[in-house]
Amino acid sequence: MIGTECPACGEGERLTGNRAGAIIHLECLTCGETWDRNPTPTCPRCGGTDMQAVPKAIVEKSRGTQLSVVGTRTIHLCSSCDSEILEAYHRNRPNPLMPDQLPTTET
């Protein structure tokens, strides 16, 4: 389960879960800890639930200083707190949002 870790031991791989309505009941197979997770995205700043799912580019250096989009991942942005970012995304659709930091030529 990507992005989910056991709150007791930090395990991120050996987890199992069952959905019960809107809640997911999770169990860590390493330490036995159980907890509930609500999969509804909420804004970490305002606590709101008016979130929009948008694609964000995954960028790697492909040759020399050339950058290539090698994939996307879905992120959730708050309609209130992230309104400027959402406006930019909607202006440039269907292109994904670019990462906050791009790979540099420095090693």
List pLDDT tens digits, range 81-94. Answer: 999 999 999 998 88
| pLDDT (tens digit per residue) in 66-80 | 889 999 999 999 999
Residue 24 has pLDDT above 70, yes or no: yes
Residue 45 has pLDDT above 60, yes or no: yes
Three-state SS letters, the chain = CCCCCCCCCCCCCCEEEEEECCEEEEEECCCCCEEEECCCCCCCCCCCCCEEEEEEEEEEEEECCEEEEEEEEEEEEECCCCHHHHHHHHHCCCCCECCCCCCCCCC
pTM of the model: 0.63
Residues with Cβ within 8 Å of 53's Cβ and at least 6 positions away in sequence, in order, are 41, 74, 75, 76
| Tokens 């999969």 -> residue | 39
Q: Which pLDDT value is given to residue 64?
A: 79
Q: How confident is the model at residue 106 (pLDDT cuts 50, 70, 90)?
A: low
